[in-house]
Amino acid sequence: MKSILITGCAGFIGSHLTEKFLELGYRVIGIDNFDPFYPKRIKEGNMNSFRSKATFTFYEIDLRVDSSLDLIEESIDLVVHLAGKAGVRPSIENPQAYINSNITASRNVLDFMRKKRIKKLAFASSSSIYGNNKEVPFSESHNVDHVISPYAFSKKSCEILNHSYHHLYDLDIINMRFFTVFGPRQRPDLAIHKFLKLFRNKQAIPMFGDGSTARDYTYVDDTVDGIVKCCKYLFDHEEVFETLNLGNSYPILLRDMINVIAKMAKCEVQINKLPMQAGDVDQTYADISRAKEVVGYNPQVSFEEGIKRFVDWFDNQ
Q: What is the 3-state secondary structure (H, E, C) of 20-43?
A: HHHHCCCEEEEEECCCCCCCHHHH
Specify if 277 maps to a domain: no
Per cent of the chain over pLDDT 70 is 100
Q: What is the chain's mean pLDDT, rounded?
A: 96
Averaged pLDDT for residues 213-225: 97
Confidence at residue 38, expressed as pLDDT on a 0 to 100 scale: 86
pLDDT in tens, 276-292: 887 788 899 999 999 99
User: Residue 23: which domain range?
Assistant: 3-179+220-247+286-299
Question: Contacts from 139-145 at CB under 8 Å and sequence distance 24+?
Answer: 139/245, 139/287, 139/290, 140/177, 140/243, 140/244, 140/245, 140/287, 140/290
Specify if 209 maps to a domain: no
Specify if 88 maps to a domain: yes
Specify if 260 maps to a domain: no
Specify if 194 maps to a domain: no
Averaged pLDDT for residues 183-208: 93
Q: How far apart are the first and last CA of the chain?
A: 35
Averaged pLDDT for residues 236-244: 98
Specify if 94 maps to a domain: yes
Choose, from 151, 165, 233, 285, the residue flagged as catalytic: 151
- Tell me the backbone φ, ψ of residue 146, rounded to 5 degrees: -120, 50
Averaged pLDDT for residues 86-111: 96
pLDDT in tens, 122-167: 999 999 999 999 999 999 999 999 999 999 999 999 999 999 999 9
What is this structure's pTM? 0.97
Is 151 a catalytic site residue?
yes
pLDDT in tens, 58-98: 999 999 999 999 999 999 999 999 999 998 889 999 999 99
Q: By C-alpha distance, which of 100, 56, 97, 102 is closest to 81?
A: 102
pLDDT in tens, 291-308: 999 999 999 999 999 999
- CATH number for the domain spanning 155: value is 3.40.50.720
Provide the b/e sequence for 112-143 (b: ≥16 CB within 10 Å): bbeebebbbbbbbbbbbbbbebeebbbebeee
Specify if 261 maps to a domain: no
**Could you give the CA distance from residue 195 to residue 42 in angstroms, rounded to a whole number?**
18
Number of domains in the chain: 1
Cβ-proximal residues to 257 (8 Å cutoff; 6+ apart), any chain:
191, 192, 195, 215, 217, 303
